[in-house]
């Protein structure tokens, strides 16, 4: 199946590696080769075994069987996990050089050189960091870029990335890709794990697809297309990644007039129509999530008016938002979307318990029927009412949150980064569910930093910059370049 440039030497080879993860899942007969100076992408759905395989390669856990051969015994490997590993009480520059501090003539750490080199590197890559800033003052995306930049201050043989772009906006992703290209330029190899198809074609030389703990094949990226990759990843064939159907929009259901919320949002005005999917995008810190929380009654307004079906409303709490037919599926689903240590039955029905009241208490039969109905409808894998969603993948946790509000029967659904960190199969289920909402006369506000998703799913797109709407674009006229042009203003 391989058609690779054999002029490049193999620096890492896995032969028939096996690892039991649980009674239900194991890595089985893993064979993999990583070549010198190449970017090897390992792609697969959530739960396919990607991270466990990386832990074996990085030496964090051992295989039960099989053989792993490295180019030489002292081969240097940098493993960058999903969560940035940084020292919060040290500066950016100190974190950057932590693995190998440069020394002055007397053996002391050469802080002048550390700061100077850091500034030069950040300027070259376009990373908006100051070397002397304490890391505890950085946001998540900044920490992720700092971790990635570590790969360029030491001559590593192999750099391993585990889903590094999951929480990055498009500009930050471009910086990450620049770092990876730089790693490749100096002759180092990269093993890059993702489930985002666009990344595969932007940075990859070779791709291996992993599904249910097995490598299904390895090919040069130039010899494969998106449809083939999706079929290998999921076992399914998707003809349209962003399903769209034509529909006529109705009257305004939500009108926002000169909304301000100190210190971020300033004079926000827009309308959402019946059966419309309205996209809102912008860079990190632009106020996207703040706006979502204002519309759901979780953040107070400094000024402005919100109208629902033409009537001005005051949304002082999520309860008032829900009474007005607004539901929010938030960005941080593991913290704010699921009820921890509660079963699937309660997680899906908690917002709708009034509908299940009977003379003697809750009508559990109707509750069971509702959970099964929406589990099947949006593809919650397993869907057992006694399951604890804490143990679900990110994609299934997102579906649980969505099922709760579908069962509640809201009129307006606000999605904040709904596809972040979920695999392609779960994304398709999510997009179909969003289309089903508008097909049944609902309306959707889709907030996302994924520009392809925004263009593919939305009827209109609003672009936020520094808390202000700077542009409105019809989806037929939208391009990634045009959106980024507006998003990076100011």
d(CA 397, CA 340): 11
Is residue 264 a part of any domain in this protein?
yes
Token pair in block for residue 118: 């850091």
One domain for residues 67 and 95: yes
d(CA 306, CA 255): 6
Q: What is the largest CA-CA distance in the chain?
A: 84
- Positive or negative CA dihedral for 364, 365, 370, 376? positive
Domain of residue 479 covers: 252-487
Higher pLDDT, 246 or 218: 218
Number of domains within the chain? 2
Instruction: Single out the residue of 185, 119, 183, 126 nearest to residue 150, CA to CA.
Output: 183
SS3 assignment, position 154: coil
pLDDT in tens, 124-164: 999 989 999 999 888 878 899 999 999 998 889 999 999 88
pLDDT of residue 240: 60
Instruction: Single out the residue of 464, 378, 382, 391 nearest to residue 429, CA to CA.
Output: 378
Looking at 235-327, list the stretches that DSSP marks H as alpha helix, in order from N- to C-terminal side: 288-295, 318-323
Kindly state the DSSP code that residue 9 receives in the 8-state scheme: P
Residues near 21 by Cβ (< 8 Å), separated by ≥ 6? 27, 49, 52, 213
Instruction: Single out the residue of 74, 67, 9 nearest to residue 35, CA to CA.
Output: 9
pLDDT of residue 285: 77
One domain for residues 225 and 326: no
pLDDT of residue 232: 79
The CA dihedral of 291, 295, 297, 303, to the nearest 10 degrees, is 70
One domain for residues 230 and 293: no
Which stretch of DSSP H or E encloses residue 94?
helix 92-96
pLDDT of residue 239: 55
pLDDT of residue 90: 93
What is the residue whose two structure tokens read 């929009």? 249
One domain for residues 66 and 132: yes
Cβ atoms < 10 Å from Cβ of 6: 9
d(CA 432, CA 435): 5
Q: What is the mean pLDDT of residues 447-465?
A: 92
Phi–psi pair at 460, nearest 5 degrees: -130, 155
One domain for residues 159 and 89: yes
Is residue 244 a part of any domain in this protein?
no
Token pair in block for residue 1: 């199946």
pLDDT of residue 25: 80
One domain for residues 174 and 306: no
Mean pLDDT across the chain? 88
pLDDT in tens, 50-82: 888 999 999 999 999 999 999 888 899 999 988
pTM of the full structure: 0.67
One domain for residues 262 and 335: yes
For residue 316, pLDDT over 90 is answered with yes
One domain for residues 175 and 117: yes
Residues near 112 by Cβ (< 8 Å), separated by ≥ 6? none
Residue where one domain finishes, among candidates 234, 266, 298: 234
Q: Which segments of 262-405 are extended strands (E)?
A: 265-273, 277-282, 303-308, 311-313, 326-329
Question: Sheet harboring 443-447: ordered strands across?
Answer: 326-329, 412-416, 443-447, 277-282, 460-465, 468-474
pLDDT of residue 334: 61
Query: 449 with 461: CB under 8 angstroms?
Result: no
pLDDT in tens, 322-335: 999 999 988 766 66
R_g of the chain computed on alpha carbons: 24
CATH of residue 261: 3.40.50.300
Is residue 112 a part of any domain in this protein?
yes
Instruction: Single out the residue of 120, 138, 95 nearest to residue 182, CA to CA.
Output: 120
Is residue 243 a part of any domain in this protein?
no
One domain for residues 217 and 93: yes
Q: How confident is the model at residue 4 (pLDDT cuts 50, 70, 90)?
A: very low
Q: What percent of the chain has pLDDT over 70?
A: 94
One domain for residues 152 and 301: no
One domain for residues 150 and 297: no
């Amino acid at each position: 199946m391989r058609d690779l440039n054999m002029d490049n030497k193999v620096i890492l080879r896995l032969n028939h590696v096996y690892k039991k993860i649980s009674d239900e899942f194991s890595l089985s007969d893993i064979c993999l080769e990583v070549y010198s100076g190449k970017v090897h992408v390992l792609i697969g759905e959530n739960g396919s075994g990607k991270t466990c395989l990386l832990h074996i390669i990085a030496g964090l856990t051992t295989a039960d069987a099989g053989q792993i051969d490295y180019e030489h015994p002292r081969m240097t490997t940098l493993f960058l996990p999903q969560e940035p590993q940084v020292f919060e009480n040290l500066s950016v520059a100190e974190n950057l050089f932590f693995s190998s501090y440069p020394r002055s003539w007397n053996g002391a750490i050469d802080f002048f050189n550390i700061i100077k080199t850091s500034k030069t590197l950040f300027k070259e890559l376009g990373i908006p960091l100051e070397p002397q800033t304490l890391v505890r003052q950085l946001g998540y995306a900044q920490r992720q870029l700092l971790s990635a930049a570590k790969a360029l201050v030491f001559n590593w043989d192999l750099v391993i990335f585990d889903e590094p772009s999951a929480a990055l906006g498009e500009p930050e992703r471009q910086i990450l890709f620049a770092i990876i290209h730089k790693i490749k330029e100096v002759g180092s190899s990269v093993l890059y794990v993702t489930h985002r198809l666009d990344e595969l074609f932007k940075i990859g030389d070779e791709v291996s697809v992993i599904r249910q703990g097995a490598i299904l094949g390895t090919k040069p990226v130039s010899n494969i297309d998106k449809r083939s990759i999706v079929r290998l990843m999921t076992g399914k064939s998707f003809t349209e990644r962003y399903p769209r159907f034509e529909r006529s929009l109705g009257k305004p259901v939500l009108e926002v007039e000169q909304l301000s919320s100190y210190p971020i949002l300033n004079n926000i005005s827009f309308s959402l129509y019946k059966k419309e999917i309205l996209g809102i995008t912008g860079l990190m810190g632009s106020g996207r999530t703040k706006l979502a929380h204002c519309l759901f009654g979780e953040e107070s307004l400094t000024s402005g008016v919100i109208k629902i079906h033409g009537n001005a409303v005051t949304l002082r709490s999520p309860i008032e938002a829900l009474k007005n037919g607004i539901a929010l599926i938030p960005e941080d689903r593991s913290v704010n979307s699921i009820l921890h240590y509660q079963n699937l039955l309660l997680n899906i029905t908690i917002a709708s318990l009034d509908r299940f009241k009977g003379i003697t208490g809750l009508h559990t039969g109707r509750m069971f029927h509702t959970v099964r109905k929406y589990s099947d409808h949006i593809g919650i894998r397993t869907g057992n009412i006694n399951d604890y969603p804490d143990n679900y993948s990110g994609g299934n946790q997102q579906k649980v949150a969505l099922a709760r509000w579908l069962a509640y029967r809201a009129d307006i659904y606000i999605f904040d980064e709904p596809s972040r960190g979920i695999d392609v199969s779960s994304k398709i289920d999510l997009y179909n569910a969003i289309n089903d909402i508008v097909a049944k006369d609902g309306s959707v506000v889709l907030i996302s930093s994924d520009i392809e998703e925004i263009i593919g799913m939305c009827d209109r797109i609003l672009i936020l910059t520094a808390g202000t709407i700077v542009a409105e674009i019809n989806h037929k006229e939208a391009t990634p370049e045009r959106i980024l042009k507006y998003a990076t203003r100011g």
